[in-house]
Chains A and B, each alone.
Chain A
Amino acid sequence: MATPAPVSLRKTALNAMHRRMGAKMVDFGGWDMPVEYSGLIAEHLAVRTGVGVFDVSHMGDIQLRGPGSLDAVQHITMNDASKLQEGQAHYSAMLYPQGTFVDDVIVHKLSPNDYLIVINAGTREKDFGWVKKNVQRFECHANDYSDYYTQLAIQGPKAAETLAKLTKVDLGTIKGYWFKWGNVCGLANTLIARTGYTGEDGFEIYIPSDVATSERVWNEVLEAGKEFGILPCGLGARNTLRLESAMSLYDHEISETINVFEAHLDRFLKLEKGPFIGSDALKTIQAAGGPQRKLIGLEMIDRGIARDGYPVLNLDGKKIGVVTSGSPAPFLKKNIALAYVPTELAVIDNEVTVEIRGNAVKARIIPTPFYRRPKKTA
């Protein structure tokens, strides 16, 4: 029998479904979420080679609407939203004045006066408070629509074929980081975005968050993906998939004490667009010759798994940094990690060690992302 979720935790509309389907549940930032269904490795491989579906309804959705919404978005995020066309989205971040992270976000341009900012679950309240406070002087409204949507991520090389069975929208016309509105599973005006957090092709759909609709669509996605071996996936696989792709996770690779240059996210930083929150501090850091430490990728040479928080040492045993995320990589079949080390030591092929429960275990600095999906041949 499925046990109900502890009352103190927040639940998505699919909570009872996850429990009925026998998912292993964990407290994820105050949310009762599935960490795995059939097994983390199987789920990870399903997304790399076929298709998987994730309930990511715990993510937040903030909408900025009004004639001043573009100016507001420009003020609170680091990427250049003026470059977005209607139906286009991009990766960005909200920064503190010191150039560190409030959160990383996806900004969608719904229409010229209407932007959707998708934010992380663990930072929802903080983010919305931050947005509300900082857009006050612009002619726009900020609304928190987080609880209105069930968000499903359908990810993997077979994601498009799976979703195509549930919609007439020509998915081939939606490029990466673009989106369209269309009928999905009989639901009109569903936002279909070609986005995700797995390093794989895939879509995220936003449907009404009532239990009946959410469960119906979840089942229809599983049915549509059956011939491709679709698996329902938990946050465990979501984490290993994003780590293989070296995508940042809040409070790991990015946080309120880590700045954009350190996190290696300056390709999404558009200082030339004009001043915004954090831009002055980042210009100062840039003028001073860049950051003192840098995020690097590690591959374990000797036997051992680096984990979040483990110290990184040089070959003389002196502590030089810390692991922010570390895990076995189920698809690459090696043990990988992301870590911060001083900039002068962040050199590809340099050897370091990771202190694993008292033992210094050798690792090599390698380029990231660890995994890059194969280019389509068709």
Chain B
Amino acid sequence: MAYPEKYKYTREHEWVEAAGNIGTVGITDYAQNSLGDIVFVDAPKIGTKVEKGAVFGSVESVKAVSDLYSPVTGTVTEVNEELHSSPEKINSDAHAAWIIKVELSDPNEVGSLLSAADYEKFIAEETGK
């Protein structure tokens, strides 16, 4: 699975795509694959403040709960309601199935996140290959 160049990544396996002052956030293909069948997405309500590095929700597979860490600081402007009834969309295309959109407090913040190449290097180390 290719990691889109236009996204930035966290070591907690979230991606963010910044366009102007809006950041779109999801989890990576690596994350969905490690979790297995995703059955539940717990996302914050519109208007919730999220903070870079802090937990903003969770995803659950059949066997486990996994916290979601925000890659950016800002306010939630949109939540992907489709994941409410079809959380498995994350399994089928993690890089398209976004979870929240955030109005960025500081659009420059994403600069410190991992590039696609760095993220791929990071997960290669994590899996010990």
Residues of A whose CB lies within 8 Å of any CB of B are: 1, 3, 24, 35-36, 39-41, 236, 239-240, 303-305, 307, 327-328, 330, 357
Contact = CB atoms under 8 A, between A and B. Distances in A.
26 contacts: A1-B129, A3-B129, A24-B34, A35-B36, A39-B37, A40-B37, A40-B61, A40-B62, A40-B63, A41-B37, A41-B62, A236-B62, A304-B40, A305-B40, A305-B60, A305-B65, A327-B62, A327-B63, A328-B39, A328-B40, A328-B60, A328-B62, A330-B37, A330-B62, A357-B58, A357-B65
A24 B65 CA distance: 17
A41 B37 CA distance: 7
Interface residues of B, number: 14
Interface of B: 34, 36-37, 39-40, 58, 60-63, 65, 127-129
Contacts, number: 41
Contacts of A304: 40
Nearest to B58: A357
A39 B36 CA distance: 6
B15 to A, nearest CB: 22
Nearest to A41: B37
A263 B18 CA distance: 53
Nearest to A24: B36
A303 B84 CA distance: 10
Nearest to B39: A328
B124 to A, nearest CB: 12
Contacts of B60: 305, 328
Contacts of A330: 37, 62
Nearest to B64: A307
A28 B67 CA distance: 22
A234 to B, nearest CB: 10
A40 B65 contact: no
Contact of B63 (A1, A236, A357): A236
A305 B61 CA distance: 10
Contacts of A303: 40
A171 to B, nearest CB: 31
A39 B63 CA distance: 11
A328 B39 CA distance: 8
A239 B36 contact: no
Contacts of B129: 1, 3
Nearest to B128: A3
A305 B62 CA distance: 9
Contacts of B65: 305, 307, 357
Interface centre among B36, B63, B128 (most CB of A within 10 A): B63
A227 to B, nearest CB: 25
Contacts of A305: 39-40, 60, 65
A240 B40 CA distance: 16
Contacts of B61: 40
Given A3-B128, A36-B36, A328-B39, A239 B63 contact: yes
A101 B93 CA distance: 45
A40 B58 contact: no
Nearest to B127: A3
Nearest to A39: B37
